[in-house]
Amino acid sequence: MMTPFLLAVEDKLGSIDLNVGTSSESSGVDEEGWLFKEAKNQPLRSPGRDGNLDFPQQRANNKTLLEEKDKYYTSSESRVEWPDLNKRVYHGTDGRTIGKLLVLRTEIAKGSNETSVVEGFYEGRAVAVKSLRLTHHDIALKEIELLRASDWHQNIVRWYGWEYDEHFVYLALERCNCSVGDLIQILSPPSQSDTSQMSTPDVIKHKNRLDAVKAKLPNLQDLSLWIEKESKYHPSPLLLKLMKDIVKGLAHLHHLKPDPIIHRDLKPQNVLVMIKEGTVCAKVADMGISKRLRSGTAGWKAPEQLDRELGSQKRAVDLFSFGCVLFYCITRGMHPFGNNHHRRDVNVLDNNIVNLSQVDHIPEASDLISRLLEPKPDSRPKALEVLNHPLFWDSETRLSFYKTASDRVQPDIKSGSVLLTALEATATVVECENWDQKLNSDNFVDNIKSRRLRDPINFNSVRELVRVIRSKSDHYDEQTPDIKNLLGSYPEGYYDYFASKFPKLFIEVYKVFYTHCRGEDRFKKYFEKEVA
């Protein structure tokens, strides 16, 4: 008799040979400590490398399977010898075989709705094994479909196959080193750890789990996620790279054809980190199933997910959640809607971003997060727009943008265009009144004035300030040693010098030109540069 899960698979993917049946097996541990499993009838075959679900009456013999293994996987993969399913299986950690899976008891994570993730091996490859109760067979089937559709992107957790027994469906997933949430908590000071509302036993258990994760992280000393400047922390290039990885994963899901995938449950625990061969990469996991399984974590869902009367759940829900994740990572573990778990969803519905001031010293981050956390879904940027936001630009790109902006507005001086008026209107926000006095160097100011004897500089003009930054950038190599020492190395030090004097200048200039010039060819390399 077929289980509800198999009936669902048959209904979704075609008929199944009823001669296959379910496995009849015995298992145990002999006196020598060898795990064994005797399979009288082999279980259904799980998906192959191409993701196609097929159900032959018997698995291929072990020789053929080993040939498949060698054909598909390189020797560089993390693997153990693939066990003969008809013979004894040994592994140093207690576990059991289920079809192609060797499932260990080392827990990686535990979720709601009786889901868990443990270590394991699938066809000899190290994997994370996610189990779902067979009573949730519809959820399991849905996740299999989503994994098949979303596979083969570097920022999506890979799926290798599935098995099942009389109680659970087991999904073999790419095994990563930790979650983004774990990484942030491990590298943040203890005071930032999100344990204030845990009971003492739970705090101890949480600490022990993080210690275990930390012990397995390679080259932890090289994982610098924040840079301290004037007693404030800024995201490092590595952290910004991880955040872009998340958005690239979302953009991939959102642009799948014919059916885009909406994650619906993006949070730090659902973004995994892979550290391999000197590279660090973030990968989106657990996509698309939270619509059917309720999540127990508050504070990461968009308003329209909490109150259906606010609108339907579209791709914008993932961007709202990403805004929360971005804030959490930049602030070393804080939440934009407060540290009280029980109040977060209330604050989301009230649009009460209680901690937004924590990123005021990073205007680009403040701008992007504010847009991502807009209560109205249509007001949030799309994933590809986020990828092109200047928060992710390096110093050289920002200086190039200053040059393009200065060249674009220069001809408008006499005409007093809408663009020029909008640019000068930012003077109060930028705080550039008498901006020459903020440069803290009489020699530098004299140098600027000496170059403009016929054309006196207006030291209250935003346009003039941008023009000076552009001009000195073009002629950096011609500056005297003392001025170079003042400005710092080019381009990072040079950009940081002006950013430290006028922190909001760049984002305000960006917003003006994004509003008025984003359709112009010269700006497309900034506004349409990144693709998923």
Check if the beta carbon of residue 402 is closer than 8 Å to that of residue 509: yes
Tens-digit pLDDT profile for residues 208-247: 888 888 988 988 888 999 999 888 999 999 999 999 999 9
Active-site pick, 165, 182, 245, 265: 265
CATH class of the domain defined by 190-391:
mainly alpha
Nearest-10 crossing angle of helices 316-330, 363-372: 150
pTM: 0.81
Cβ-based neighbour number of residue 304 at 10 Å: 19
The chain-wide mean pLDDT, for the chain, equals 80
Which strands sit side by side in the sheet containing 271-276, from one edge to the other? 178-179, 271-276, 279-284
Sign for the CA dihedral angle at 116, 118, 122, 126 comes to positive
Compute the distance between CA of residue 249 and CA of residue 256 in angstroms, rounded to an integer.
11
Compute the distance between CA of residue 195 and CA of residue 75 in angstroms, rounded to an integer.
42
- Give the model's pLDDT for residue 2: 54
Cis check: omega of the bond before 43, within 30 degrees of 0: no
Pair of tokens at residue 346 = 């209330």
Task: Tell me which residue of 332, 263, 267, 331 sits closest to 299, measured CA to CA.
Answer: 267
Compute the distance between CA of residue 265 and CA of residue 298 in angstroms, rounded to an integer.
10
| Pairing, β 168-174 against β 178-179 | unpaired
Check if the beta carbon of residue 166 is closer than 8 Å to that of residue 268: no
Check if the beta carbon of residue 106 is closer than 8 Å to that of residue 116: no
Distances in Å between the Cα of 217 and the Cα atoms of 145, 147, 191, 273, 274 are 31, 26, 22, 10, 10
Burial class (CB in 10 A: 0-12, 13-18, 19+), 222: exposed
H helix intervals, 14-159: 62-72, 137-150
- Give the model's pLDDT for residue 114: 65
Report the half-sphere exposure of 235 (CA within 13 A, side-chain side). Answer: 27
Q: What are phi and psi of 399, to 5 degrees?
A: -65, -35
| Pairing, β 168-174 against β 125-133 | antiparallel
Check if the beta carbon of residue 108 is closer than 8 Å to that of residue 182: no
**265 counts as catalytic:** yes
- Give the model's pLDDT for residue 28: 37
- Give the model's pLDDT for residue 216: 87
What fold is seen in the domain 394-527?
A: de novo design (two linked rop proteins) (1.20.1440)
| Pairing, β 279-284 against β 271-276 | antiparallel
How big, in percent rounded to 5, are the helix, strand and coil portions of the chain? 45, 15, 40
Q: Give the residue ranges of the chain where pLDDT is below 70.
A: 1-93, 111-114, 136-137, 151, 191-197, 288-297, 442, 451-454, 530-532
Q: What is the CATH number of domain 4-175?
A: 3.30.200.20
Length of the chain counted residue by residue: 532
Task: Return the SS3 of 108.
Answer: strand
| Domain limits, the chain | 4-175, 190-391, 394-527
Task: Find residue 173's DSSP bridge partners.
Answer: 128, 159
Pair of tokens at residue 28 = 């145990």
Check if the beta carbon of residue 155 is closer than 8 Å to that of residue 312: no
Instruction: Give the type of residue at 229.
Output: K
- Give the model's pLDDT for residue 413: 81
Pair of tokens at residue 357 = 């001031």
- Give the model's pLDDT for residue 191: 61
Residues 6+ apart with CB under 8 A from 220: 186, 214
